[in-house]
Amino acid sequence: MTDQSPPPLPEFDLLGFTPYRLAVAAKRTSEALAKQYRSRFGISIPEWRVLVHLAYAGNVSVRDIEARVAMEKYEVSRAAKRLEEAGLIEKRAHQTDRRLVDLALTAKGRLMMAELLPIARAHQEALEARLGDAFEQLETGLEKLLEDIEPFSTEKQAPRG
């Protein structure tokens, strides 16, 4: 065997790499909102994602949340367990598939979301103001990136329950 050094790495601009920049931007904007709801309501980012999806879509299965909010099944299950223990959501048997469990906001969960959603809306408005004219272009770009990803849908569903 000969002692060879590894080949040189090709040039790569990490700070200009779009997937990296999108991930960092998403983390930072999400964390800015998370600081607010974590300190006020004591919930984590995964718990927020479960709650806001239930507020948006009504009663849904763990599988649906997992697919639509880009979380692993164990993350959804763990968050759902904590939220159920806190009395914010309840689990119900799925109407047509007994292997699935539906989640729904409780009255206590709905009250909390009634306080929390205006905070999220204000966060969105601040983000839009910060981006100014670039916001519309960002939205257009995000639509293009997300349009072929199933089962993601940007169409708002009528809330149930």
**Residue range 94-113, pLDDT digits in tens:** 777 777 788 999 999 999 99
Examine residue 29 and state whether it is found in any structural domain, yes or no. Answer: yes
Can you give the residue range of the structural domain that contains 56? 17-124
Examine residue 3 and state whether it is found in any structural domain, yes or no. Answer: no
Examine residue 156 and state whether it is found in any structural domain, yes or no. Answer: no
Return the pLDDT at 1. Answer: 55
CA distances from 48 to 41, 80, 129 (A): 10, 10, 23
pLDDT band at 6 (very low <50, low <70, confident <90, very high): very high
**Over residues 102-128, mean pLDDT:** 96
6: cis peptide before it, omega within 30°? no
Examine residue 78 and state whether it is found in any structural domain, yes or no. Answer: yes
Give the CATH number for residue 32. 1.10.10.10
Helix (H, G, I), strand (E, B) or coil at 89: strand
Examine residue 110 and state whether it is found in any structural domain, yes or no. Answer: yes
For the ranges 40-49, 57-66, 114-123, 127-136, the lowest mean pLDDT is seen at 57-66
Instruction: Say how many domains are in the chain.
Output: 1
Examine residue 35 and state whether it is found in any structural domain, yes or no. Answer: yes
**Over residues 110-129, mean pLDDT:** 96
For the ranges 85-99, 128-142, 145-159, the lowest mean pLDDT is seen at 145-159
For the ranges 12-21, 42-51, 93-102, the lowest mean pLDDT is seen at 93-102
Query: End-to-end CA distance of the chain, in Å?
Result: 69
Examine residue 150 and state whether it is found in any structural domain, yes or no. Answer: no
The predicted model scores a pTM of: 0.80
Cβ-based burial of 47 (10 A; exposed 0-12, middle 13-18, buried ≥19): buried
| Rounded to 5°, angle at Cα 8 from 3 and 12 | 155
Examine residue 6 and state whether it is found in any structural domain, yes or no. Answer: no
